[in-house]
């Protein structure tokens, strides 16, 4: 099926379908979503979390080659809210979290292409100056082939990925897991594959033009209650303010961690002085949309070049719209 889909997309592109879709969707903003780059030596199937360093550069080259104007997130949001204008078919580049690979690989690529980008940065992981244990454990299990493991390794894995446990306990469980599973951590620690950038690296990235914005302090909105939203935004603002003295833009844009969102959370964000919030819902952002539930185009290593072009052109968004219209109405 996937081969058929890719062949269909290549045919549509060759026949001018992408160009037509681009004209039809020119008033929408393509808010791209990235995370980090893969810095380990292992090959991997790819997903929306870690992307190959060269793949990210190729994406920027594709955007430039096809002539899509790249604008700042702030300008894009102003246009979507009716308070400004951006060129037709504009692209805004956003990156989530704060991985070291963003600092080491993405920021240089963006500077080479002279393209603005926004980093939605959660702050607690950055302040630990440690690997993120639950992410590291999951990925080490994945690159080791998800093979069956001893009960002791399974127990340690469960403890390492329990995000509600204290960091020290999760780091200790990570060490037990890799020991029991026979996985060497050093190749990953030496490349900082599962670490956030340091506060001083974030400061440097901001001074080089990276727009740093809000992503909660603890990478969660918990129960999505107004109190939790307010507290997480306040803690995130305070931490980022300390890390970015003299370089930070107003912290008024937000990204829902893990895409977990609600209209009520958006209302709480508005009361906290936030002017926009992005989700992980796939799609183009249109003028008049709820500014606290903006969709994005999630890109990753598993996305082929023709699929990426289909998303940029709006052809993929048109197909999603047709699919939703044609869905059979379920009878109760």
pLDDT at residue 41, rounded to an integer: 84
- Over 60: is that where the pLDDT of 318 sits? yes
Whether residue 202 sits in one domain with residue 119: yes
Whether residue 203 sits in one domain with residue 123: yes
Q: How confident is the model at residue 306 (pLDDT cuts 50, 70, 90)?
A: very high
pLDDT at residue 142, rounded to an integer: 85
Is 256 a member of any domain? yes
Contact between 219 and 122 (Cβ < 8 Å): yes
Other beta carbons within 10 Å of 137: 26
Whether residue 220 sits in one domain with residue 185: no
Whether residue 214 sits in one domain with residue 172: no
Whether residue 225 sits in one domain with residue 271: yes
- What distance lies between CA 82 and its chain's CA centroid? 25
Whether residue 146 sits in one domain with residue 108: no
Whether residue 41 sits in one domain with residue 171: no
- Over 50: is that where the pLDDT of 290 sits? yes
Contact between 125 and 133 (Cβ < 8 Å): no
Is 114 a member of any domain? yes
Is 10 a member of any domain? no
Q: How confident is the model at residue 5 (pLDDT cuts 50, 70, 90)?
A: very high
Q: How confident is the model at residue 331 (pLDDT cuts 50, 70, 90)?
A: very low
Whether residue 78 sits in one domain with residue 47: yes
Is 68 a member of any domain? yes
Cβ burial of 38 (10 Å; 0-12, 13-18, 19+) is buried
- Over 90: is that where the pLDDT of 46 sits? no
- Over 90: is that where the pLDDT of 47 sits? no
Strands 253-255 and 294-298: unpaired
Across 163-190, average pLDDT: 92
- Rounded Cα distance between 103 and 97, Å, is 11
Whether residue 188 sits in one domain with residue 177: yes
Q: From 231, 253, 217, select the one nearest 125 (Cα to Cα).
A: 217
- Over 60: is that where the pLDDT of 16 sits? yes
Q: From 75, 55, 72, 77, select the one nearest 114 (Cα to Cα).
A: 72
With a CB cutoff of 8 Å and minimum separation 6, the contacts of 187 are 40, 41
Is 5 a member of any domain? no
- Domain, as residue range, for 148: 130-194
Q: From 100, 127, 103, select the one nearest 218 (Cα to Cα).
A: 127
The reported pTM is 0.94
Whether residue 137 sits in one domain with residue 98: no
pLDDT at residue 329, rounded to an integer: 53
Whether residue 184 sits in one domain with residue 249: no
Boundary residue ending a domain (168, 194, 220):
194
- Over 70: is that where the pLDDT of 251 sits? yes
Give the residue, 192 or 143, on which the prediction is more confident.
192
- Over 80: is that where the pLDDT of 236 sits? yes
Q: How confident is the model at residue 248 (pLDDT cuts 50, 70, 90)?
A: low
Q: Where is average pLDDT lowest: 14-23, 88-97, 110-119, 156-165?
A: 156-165
pLDDT, tens only, 141-168: 888 777 778 899 999 999 999 988 999 9
Please give the sequence-ordered ranges of beta strands (E in DSSP) within 227-293, or none if there are none: 253-255, 276-282
Domain total in the chain: 2
Is 57 a member of any domain? yes
pLDDT at residue 332, rounded to an integer: 40
What residues are paired with 195 via a beta bridge?
131
Cα dihedral 144, 124, 301, 200, rounded to 10, equals -110
Is 158 a member of any domain? yes
Q: How confident is the model at residue 310 (pLDDT cuts 50, 70, 90)?
A: very high
Give the residue, 113 or 164, on which the prediction is more confident.
113
Is 332 a member of any domain? no
What counts of helices (H) and strands (E) characterise the chain? 16, 9
Cα 104–243–53 angle (5° rounding)? 15
pLDDT at residue 49, rounded to an integer: 86
What are 174's two structure tokens?
């990570």
Across 320-327, average pLDDT: 85
- Rounded Cα distance between 177 and 158, Å, is 9
Estimate the share of the chain in helix, then strand, then coil, as percent rounded to the nearest 5.
50, 15, 35
What residues are paired with 95 via a beta bridge?
34, 119
Mean pLDDT taken over the chain? 93
pLDDT at residue 145, rounded to an integer: 75
pLDDT at residue 143, rounded to an integer: 80
- Over 90: is that where the pLDDT of 214 sits? yes
pLDDT, tens only, 121-137: 999 999 999 999 999 99
What residues are paired with 29 via a beta bridge?
285
Q: What is the CATH number of the domain that holds 279?
A: 3.20.20.370
Q: How confident is the model at residue 45 (pLDDT cuts 50, 70, 90)?
A: low
Other beta carbons within 10 Å of 264: 12
Whether residue 212 sits in one domain with residue 118: yes
């Amino acid at each position: 099926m996937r081969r058929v889909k890719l062949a269909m997309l290549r045919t549509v592109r060759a026949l001018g379908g992408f160009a037509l879709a681009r004209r039809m969707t020119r008033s929408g903003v393509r808010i791209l979503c990235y995370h980090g780059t893969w810095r380990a030596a292992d090959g991997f199937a790819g997903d929306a979390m870690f992307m190959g360093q060269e793949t990210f550069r190729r994406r920027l080259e594709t955007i430039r080659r096809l002539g899509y104007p790249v604008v700042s997130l702030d300008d894009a949001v102003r246009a979507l809210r009716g308070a400004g204008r951006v060129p037709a078919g504009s692209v805004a580049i956003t990156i989530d979290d704060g991985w070291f690979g963003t600092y080491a690989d993405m920021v240089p690529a963006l500077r080479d292409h002279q393209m603005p980008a926004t980093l939605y940065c959660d702050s607690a992981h950055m302040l630990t100056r440690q690997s993120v244990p639950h992410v590291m454990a999951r990925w080490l299990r994945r690159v080791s082939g998800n093979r069956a493991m001893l009960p002791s390794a399974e127990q340690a894995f469960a403890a390492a990925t329990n995000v509600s446990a204290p960091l020290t306990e999760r780091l200790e469980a990570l060490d037990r897991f890799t020991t029991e599973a026979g996985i060497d951590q050093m190749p990953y620690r030496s490349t900082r594959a599962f670490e956030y950038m340091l506060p001083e690296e974030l400061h440097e990235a901001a001074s080089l033009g990276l727009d740093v914005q809000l992503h909660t302090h603890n990478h969660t909105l918990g129960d999505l209650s107004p109190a939790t939203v307010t507290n997480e935004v306040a803690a995130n603002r305070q931490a980022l303010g300390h890390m970015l003295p003299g370089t930070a833009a107003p912290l008024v844009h937000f990204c829902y961690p893990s895409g977990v969102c609600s209209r009520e959370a958006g209302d709480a964000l508005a009361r906290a002085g936030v002017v926009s919030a992005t989700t992980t819902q796939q799609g183009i952002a249109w003028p008049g949309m709820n500014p606290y539930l903006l969709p994005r185009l999630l890109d990753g290593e598993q996305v082929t070049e023709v699929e990426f072009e289909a998303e940029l052109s709006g052809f993929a968004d048109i197909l999603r719209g047709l699919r939703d219209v044609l869905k059979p109405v379920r009878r109760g």
